[in-house]
Structure 1
Amino acid sequence: MAYTQELLNTARPHDAAACGYGSPIEHDLGGLRIAFEADEFLGPCVTINGIEGEVTLTGEAEVREAIRALNTALNRNAALAARQMGSAA
């Protein structure tokens, strides 16, 4: 038996605010929804829904690599911002 939990949904006011939206917004209208499912055979499954559609990450390896890639994007963005601030000074 699988266990499912909604982790983030910008249709909820506090999730919308945490993501920088001024008001709640459904995922199919430009917001974001992330759900987690624990499956005894497949392991963790994460489904990300947005205006562009749906992506499902299946298994621990896929979820970890997606987290790694997203962290890389954040780090590169921070490094770029730091370089831009340094060149403006």
Structure 2
Amino acid sequence: MNRLTNPAGPGHIDVGGRQVSVGVNADMAAGLAGAIPLGRLGAVQEAAGAAYCCAPPEADHITGEVPICAGAYTFWPRPG
């Protein structure tokens, strides 16, 4: 196995109601959820799944990539 590091690129993740960033409150989290095409923040397990998909031997050819787990937020056209 000859694999480079594969970091995961999580989007906005719900970490159980804990405030993890300065200035992020419930109203801001609700606004972010409304901007995500899936209509909700991601779950911790979903972000972990993005990292795990690059871990098994069947993924040896995935190397040096960053899987994005953001509920299509990064590809969704936003107004303005």
TM-score range, shorter chain: under 0.3
Decide which structure has the larger Cα Rg and report it.
1
Q: Which has the higher contact order (CA 8 A, sep 6+)?
A: 2
More strand, by proportion: 1
Which structure has more helix as a fraction of its residues? 1
TM-score by length of 2: 0.27
